[in-house]
Structure 1
Amino acid sequence: MALAPKRVLTQDRLRSAVQELLLETDWSEITVQHVAASAGVSIGTFYNYYDSKDEALADVRACLSLMIIKDINSLIYTQASIEFRISLLIKYFVNILNAKPEWANYFFKADGFSERLEGGLVSLLEPMVLEGSMSHRRHNNPKLTASFIENGVFPLLKEYHASRKTLPEQEATQIVVLALSSMGISGDELLHAGNLVCPVTPLASLPQSILELEKTQAGYV
């Protein structure tokens, strides 16, 4: 197989540099000079690829979001019920907090899911809330309910991450119960969904070579 063009390799180094810096410090403190130095390129080379550091972050976010969403979908769509899917989605991010330190830094050094995940958690929750509303004839506002859940989950996980604490399963269950209660879910279905255990996800460690990821997804050995 032919080697990737130099331009592709350089962009991959820039993307890896952005990830590495995100794991170490807040994005607001990172400069274009930091990204270029970490990638081993000149500032001029950086601007051959991106107009700003925020554009570089947006590019990395888009690439990593594909990996994250694929991982989430392979997990949640093992479940038929909306309640179980939402439970697994929330506990997925609890597991990242508890067991995936690089990814925890990636997500919870941000000020919200939307800074690290395309569309934020709302983009994943909203269609599930809508489906649940239609199947159970509940009158939820899907976007409002999804935003309510996201705005409740993220600050709590961020606080635990900042304190370098893990979130016990019992408390994760309580978060799920509160989230599902906001959708009007109650009784046994609420308890069963709240107690669902999410397996630790197999996400690769960061920084991740987007080039290698794309090769893997394309079926290269």
Structure 2
Amino acid sequence: MVTPPKRVLTQDRLRSAVQNLLLETDWTEITVQDVSVSAGVSIGTFYNYYDSKDEALADVRTCLSALIQKDLNSLLLTQSRVECRISLLLKYFVNILNAKPTWANYFYRAENFSERMDGGLMALLEPLVLEEMLSNKGRVHNAKITASFIENGFFPLLKQYHANGMALPDGEASQIVLLALSSMGLSGDQLEQASSLVCPVTPLAALPQSIFELEKAQAGHV
């Protein structure tokens, strides 16, 4: 078996260190020295890879965003109706709150989705809202504003539940989806059916993730 280059392994340790620290404390309280100590490298080595701790976070966020996106793509392909896909998208993040504690710490210790996911929830939600607009089912005229409105109401609620160590009951999750879809001008039986969909437990492994091992697995290496 070919040994990975030292640079690859060092960066993987730095990425894992960032994830570990994010699970334990607020990012604002973390220093470059904290990341370096956790990774077992010198501060000088850290700066060989990143210009700042925020650049390190951005790198980790991009890697984990790709993992989330792949997971969601598989999930959303199970539904043909766009309102059902929106329902599963929102309930996916409820499932993280309820059943994936390390991922819940990763997401809901932040101040918004965009701190932990490239583009935030809007990057995933806006195309779906636009699709709903083009189908002439909804009555909204600006997909970006609508997606932002939903995200800005959804994230603080999940963050509050996480801070209080509480799960979000299925009935309340369905009510949130109902409100989100209603804000798009949707109504009727299809709205009720979409909001009551059950999202399966997500197959995400616990954090921290070895980005190197993840990328190797995705490339089909043994």
Alpha-carbon RMSD across the aligned residues, in angstroms, is 0.7
Alignment-derived partner of residue 144 in structure 2: 143
Map 1:85-104; keep pairs closer than 5 Å.
85-104=85-104
Alignment-derived partner of residue 162 in structure 2: 161
Alignment-derived partner of residue 75 in structure 2: 75
Map 1:173-192; keep pairs closer than 5 Å.
173-192=174-193
Q: After alignment, is 134-143 or 49-58 more displaced?
A: 134-143
**Number of aligned residue pairs:** 221
> 3-state DSSP class of the match of 2:110?
coil
Q: Distance between the aligned counterparts of 1:5 and 1:210, measured in 2?
A: 14
Say whether the 8 Å CA contact 1:129–1:140 is kept in structure 2: no
- 1:156-175: per-residue Cα shift (whole Å, max 9, x none)? 00000000000000000000
Q: Distance between the aligned counterparts of 1:219 and 1:3, measured in 2?
A: 16
Q: Distance between the aligned counterparts of 1:6 and 1:35, measured in 2?
A: 18
Alignment-derived partner of residue 203 in structure 1: 204
Q: Runs of 4 or more off by more than 4 Å in structure 1?
A: none
Q: Percent identity?
A: 73
Alignment-derived partner of residue 121 in structure 2: 121
Q: Distance between the aligned counterparts of 2:136 and 2:109, measured in 1?
A: 37
> 3-state DSSP class of the match of 1:57?
helix
Gaps of 5+ in 2: none
CA deviation after TM superposition for structure 1 residue 139, in Å? 3.8
Gaps of 5+ in 1: none
> 3-state DSSP class of the match of 1:204?
coil
CA deviation after TM superposition for structure 1 residue 187, in Å? 0.8
> 3-state DSSP class of the match of 1:158?
helix
CA deviation after TM superposition for structure 1 residue 76, in Å? 1.1
Q: Which amino acid aligns with 1:209?
A: S
Map 1:35-50; keep pairs closer than 5 Å.
35-50=35-50
- 1:24-64: per-residue Cα shift (whole Å, max 9, x none)? 00000000000000000000000000000000000000000
> 3-state DSSP class of the match of 1:80?
coil
Q: Distance between the aligned counterparts of 1:206 and 1:125, measured in 2?
A: 24
Alignment-derived partner of residue 108 in structure 1: 108
Alignment-derived partner of residue 193 in structure 1: 194
- 1:59-90: per-residue Cα shift (whole Å, max 9, x none)? 00000000001001110121001100000000
CA deviation after TM superposition for structure 1 residue 177, in Å? 0.3
The TM-score with structure 1 as length reference comes to 0.99
Q: Distance between the aligned counterparts of 2:76 and 2:153, measured in 1?
A: 20
Q: Which amino acid aligns with 2:174?
A: T
Q: Which amino acid aligns with 2:47?
A: Y
Q: Which amino acid aligns with 1:219?
A: G
Q: Which amino acid aligns with 2:68?
A: I
Say whether the 8 Å CA contact 2:103–2:206 is kept in structure 1: yes
Say whether the 8 Å CA contact 2:140–2:146 is kept in structure 1: no
The TM-score with structure 2 as length reference comes to 0.98
Alignment-derived partner of residue 171 in structure 1: 172
> 3-state DSSP class of the match of 1:184?
coil
Q: Distance between the aligned counterparts of 1:139 and 1:184, measured in 2?
A: 6
Q: Distance between the aligned counterparts of 2:140 and 2:119, measured in 1?
A: 23
